[in-house]
Amino acid sequence: MKKDTPIQILQLSKRSYNVLEKFNIITVQDLLTVSIEDIKNFKGIGKKSIQEILSKIELLKDHNFDNIDISEIEMKISKDKYFTNKFGEKYKDIPIEDLGLSEESKNFLKELGIEYYSELLTKGDEEFELPEYLENTVQKEIKSIRRDLNIEVPINIRGDISINYLRLSARAKNCLKIANIKYCSQLFYKTKEELKAIKQMGGKTLKELQRFKFLIFFYFGIPANIEDKESEEEKISKESVDFLKKVAKILNCNTEKLISNISDHYFSFVQYTDLTEENDYNYITENIVSLLWWKNSYGKEKWLKYIIRQISKNIYGIEEDVLWESIPEILKDKKIYKKTIEYLCESNLIKKLYDDRFVIVYKSVKEEVYNYLTENEANIFLNRISGKTLEEIGDTLEITRERVRQIEAKGLKKLSFGKFKEDFFKDIYLKYDVNKESFLVALKEEETYNYLSLRYRNELNQVKNKRKPLQELLEDEEIPAIIRRAFEKFVYKDYITFDKERILVGRASFTNYIIKHFANDGMSYIEFKEMYDMFLTELGYEKEESLKIVDRSYENRIRDDMNVLWKPKKKFRYYNILGYDFSDFLETLNLSQYKNEEYSSLKFFKMYPDLMKMYDIRDEYELHNLLKKICTVDKYLEIKFGRMPSIEFGKADREQQVKELLSLLSPISKQDFINEYEDFYGVDSKTFAANYLSYIDEYNCSGIYDITFEEYDDSIFLELKDILSEELYTVQEVKEKIEKTFPNYKKEFLNPILLKKLGYKISGGYIVKSQYDSASSYFYQFLQKNEIVKLDDISSKIKSLPMFTSQIYRLKYVYEIIEFSPNKFVNFSKLKKLGITKDDLKQYCSDVLEFIGKDKYFTTFSLKKNGFYHELDELGFDDYFYTSILIEDKNRISYRRIGKNKLMYSNGEGANFEDFLERIVYKQEKLYIEVYDLNDLLRDEYNIVLDVHDVISSVKSTSMFYDPISKIVFADYEIYYEVI
């Protein structure tokens, strides 16, 4: 036996042989030179294998190698040839016949004297030029097996690598996965027989894997043997696995694949860095994983796609700081982020456009069209977007118009799978009322418009009636400012500038301008027409027929305008209805409580004088017109607005209503009844005398109205006494109770005689216990019972009564109660105990006015911010309390409710939020202010908290100019024109 005899001669067990082969022990000489200690440290070796190998070594030491007959074995293995790689390692070479080549390729290699794979690999490119006469298939086949591994990432193969990185066929990878072979080392140490035994393993795939094993050995050397390879999640810490799972979820990628790729790369990467000096070797942190994006193709690919997705979420791109903020904290790394942006820009995948926004780069449809369509389809499409008609194209191609349309439709269907540069304007085209004229004026891109109108023709038909006015595009902050500014030219092309304001040339716009500027104190329709004609003449439009008012129905248009309060005799006043929040107003009126009755709006105007003043409503006619415009049918179905100032709730019977009130007051003189009806229903005494008295003529006797009432037995009286147990009712409530108890009762059943017997009396539309002088007296005592009154603790029935609200207003006005928090009042009796007098409260108002000056706007918050202090501040109430004191000084202070605060004005009349805003803007050094800065100023200086859109709406109702693109409020249009 010779020392280079292969170890197969020793007839070892399969397990022992595999272990030795894995550790490159191929010959008897190799076995005799390895130490016993090394053998015991072989990974994957068992005790039995150790004993078997050691026993064979002992036998070999006693033998004379030259006298052993090994001819039989040599014949058996004589074909095996071993190759030594650049690392000095030996490995069995692969004969050309076992490389899985075609016969043509094998014959060609044999002609060159190449018998083994190593011989093919060791030849340089200059030594191995394939002759041109070879078939392409042979050339490709030989080139493919000569190429190096070209593994997807730079890696130390001795640190092991996942099979995901190996350039194997899909079939080969699937076979390895079936056998749970995940790593290069696991593949390398599998014998041919073990690989062959894998399910679905074919001969061609087996040869591919054998060839790949030799390539690993040839280029990288024998990988470290790691038996019983741990799973990816066992390989790194649980914290790292949890972290990578979060990353995978964010990047929308396969969790296991990401863990496999990153962990593999990490454990190879750290061998050449100092990353692990201060870190647990098995702990992948946020800092480390971000570095790996650029070393690992899978991670990098997913990361880049994630950033592109973030950018593409916004149609018009995304600003760099917004993009950065959109990235979750666990993936934020400034260096990697910067590299990412640079890489995407250099790769022309994104670019910075419009307002420093990043957008996805798409090619023009003209550049891409031939990649989607046939030449004929493309030519027709290009002719169409250039502006040619179907007929013109048909004439050129000598085909029918219909045939051109069919080809076009087919091409458009194919193009629907692509996205092009021109699609950037798709949202504008479908969302806003953009026509060809506006598109060309703004963007000067006719072919883009033609493309949009062709490709999105069906989508446009679906939304055509839902598209927004083009003017609203100017306020769409998602659209880049440069594009909005371009469309602004078209939007305002029909505007003129008059007295520093921009006005659309049109009858409606001119009307609004005149009403807004000249009808604040009212004007008649005739006066309006005269002023309108003068206005046209001054502008030079007196001959423009389309601008003249000749239609008699135009009066109705003004009557229905939401900037007008209409009155009798064709008079009206400018009133910005949309500029008010009427929720508190309507809640106070509580119109839904009235059932089947007819009232005059004069009733509510007189009942709530403070409310009317707060909302600047000057008479019952203005109130009637206002209610008609804000009480929409969908919310107030049962209310009908008749001739001013009549309002009908439900189904009212006027005659019966007059008789029922008379039955409650009889006997009563004519004038007293007229006055009582006016107080009860609000109908003016003259109107009532002229139109209502005829209903009750039968009861008139010498100027006294008297009704003879029926006597009722004691059982009815006792039953009534049981159902009337509270101190106060509305007349309507008592009627409903009686009707329910006595279904067949007559209308005159409820009368003053019966009420007196029951211990009640009628007062101001209420039925109240006789112990009270009046219903007003009842409410006064009710509100004076406790030092602190909380409306939330009072029944909704009481709170909804108009007289209750009126009494609260009266008590507030004379400082008997003071609101210190919403719906919470302190009685003056409590303040009196603290030594406070009503004169002190009045003096507080005087001191404030002296501090603030005449005709100035302020809030309690701004007073204190500007240094105002008063001894009443020592009471410790919030600003709400002091505001409540001030607003009751109605002769010297007016106010407007703005948001949850009250804006006060040191004048008994004229508090106006729009005027307040104008004063702020005119105080600015440059006469303009950004709307967000204006909103911040309102909050910081006055504690007025509003949504910025409410501020914009108020600004638009003034003579100031708001530029929706720059978001700036200018004192007037001339300032805007100078700046912008």
Predicted confidence at residue 237, as pLDDT, reads 63
What residues form DSSP beta bridges with 351? 359
Task: Tell me the three-class secondary structure of 874-916, residue by residue.
Answer: HHCCCHHHHHHHHHCCCCCCEEEEECCEEEEECCCCCCCHHHH
Report yes or no: 482 and 471 within 8 Å, Cβ to Cβ: no
Query: Starting at the edge strand that comes first in sequence, how are the strands of the sheet with 901-905 ordered?
Result: 857-858, 901-905, 894-898
CA distance 868 to 862: 9
pLDDT of residue 130: 64
The model's pLDDT over 90-139, given as tens digits with 9 standing for 90+, comes to 778 888 888 888 888 888 888 788 888 888 888 765 556 666 666 677 77
Q: For residue 132, what pLDDT is reported?
A: 62
CA pair distance 892, 493, nearest whole angstrom: 47
SS3 readout for 445-497: CHHHHHHHHHHCHHHHHHHHHHCECHHHHCCCCCCCHHHHHHHHHHHCCCEEE
* DSSP-H helix ranges across 270-374: 286-292, 297-312, 320-326, 334-346, 365-372
Euclidean distance between CA atoms 275 and 285, whole angstroms: 10
pLDDT of 213 > 80? The answer is: yes
The SS3 assignment for 102 reads coil
Residue 15 has a pLDDT of 74
| pLDDT value for 252 | 87
Q: Residue 559: pLDDT band by 50, 70, 90 thresholds?
A: very high
Check residues 454 and 314 and name the one with the higher pLDDT.
Answer: 454
Assigned token pair, 196: 């062959």
Q: How far is CA 392 from CA 386, 397, 411, in A?
A: 12, 9, 18
Among candidates 613, 645, 707, 561, which has minimal Cα distance to 896? Answer: 613
Burial of 103 (0-12, 13-18, 19+ CB in 10 A): exposed
Report the pLDDT value the prediction gives residue 124, as an integer from 0 to 100: 66
Q: Is the pLDDT at 165 greater than 60, yes or no?
A: yes
- Is residue 557 predicted with pLDDT exceeding 80? yes
Q: Encode pLDDT of 698-735 as tens digits.
A: 999 888 999 888 777 788 888 888 889 899 998 888 88
Identity of residue 687: T
- Residue appearing with tokens 């209610």: 627
Up-side HSE of residue 976: CA atoms within 13 Å toward CB? 21
For helices 255-269 and 297-312, angle between their N-to-C axes, nearest 10 degrees: 130
625 near 565, Cβ under 8 Å? yes
**What is the structure's pLDDT at 292?**
61
pLDDT for residue 605 is more than 60: yes
Positive or negative: CA dihedral 732, 735, 739, 745:
negative
Q: Which of 449-453, 498-502, 926-930 has the least mean pLDDT?
A: 498-502
Secondary structure (H, E, C), 556-584: HHHHCCCCEEEEHHHEEEECCHHHCCCHH
**CA distances in angstroms from 812 to 489, 505, 761, 806, listed in the order given:** 54, 50, 27, 10
Q: Does residue 644 or residue 142 have the better pLDDT? A: 644
Q: Which pLDDT score, from 0 to 100, does residue 268 have?
A: 47
**Which pLDDT belongs to residue 293?**
58
Q: Residues 384-431: pLDDT tens digits?
A: 999 999 999 999 999 999 999 999 999 999 998 899 999 999 999 999
Q: In which band, very low, low, confident or very high, does the pLDDT at 633 lie, cut at 50, 70 and 90?
A: confident
Comparison of pLDDT for 958 and 112, the residue scoring more: 958
What is the pLDDT, as a whole number, of residue 295? 66
Q: At what angle do helices 401-415 and 375-385 cross, to 10 degrees?
A: 100
Q: What is the pLDDT of residue 287?
A: 53
Q: Average pLDDT in the 528-541 region?
A: 94
pTM of the model: 0.62
Q: Determine the number of helices (DSSP H) and then strands (DSSP E) in the chain.
A: 53, 28
Average pLDDT score over the chain:
85
Q: Is residue 331 within 8 Å of 247, Cβ to Cβ?
A: yes
Contact 151, 167 (CB under 8 A): yes
* Number of neighbouring beta carbons within 10 Å of residue 348: 9
- Opening angle at CA 544, ends 540 and 549, nearest 5: 105
Please tell me the predicted confidence (pLDDT) of residue 233: 44
227-283 pLDDT per residue, tens? 444 444 445 567 777 777 888 888 888 877 777 766 655 554 444 344 434 444 444
Distance CA 860, CA 819 (A): 14
Instruction: Note the Cα 455 to chain centre separation in Å.
Output: 28
Q: What is the pLDDT of residue 281?
A: 40
What is the structure's pLDDT at 275?
40
Provide the pLDDT for residue 693: 93
Q: Considering only 189-198, 332-341, 710-719, 756-765, which range has the smallest mean pLDDT?
A: 710-719
pLDDT for the residue 360: 93
Return the pLDDT at 630: 95
Give dist(CA 123, CA 118) in Å, integer.
9
Q: What is the dihedral of CA 746, 752, 754, 757, to 10 degrees?
A: 180
Write down the pLDDT at residue 927.
95
What is the spatial distance between Cα 873 and Cα 803, in angstroms, rounded to a whole number?
A: 33
Instruction: Determine the average pLDDT of the residues in 159-186.
Output: 80
**Which amino acid does the sequence have at 608?**
Y
**Which of the 8 DSSP states describes residue 284?**
-
Cα gap 60→2, rounded to integer Å: 11
State residue 893's pLDDT score.
95
Percent of the chain exceeding pLDDT 90 equals 50
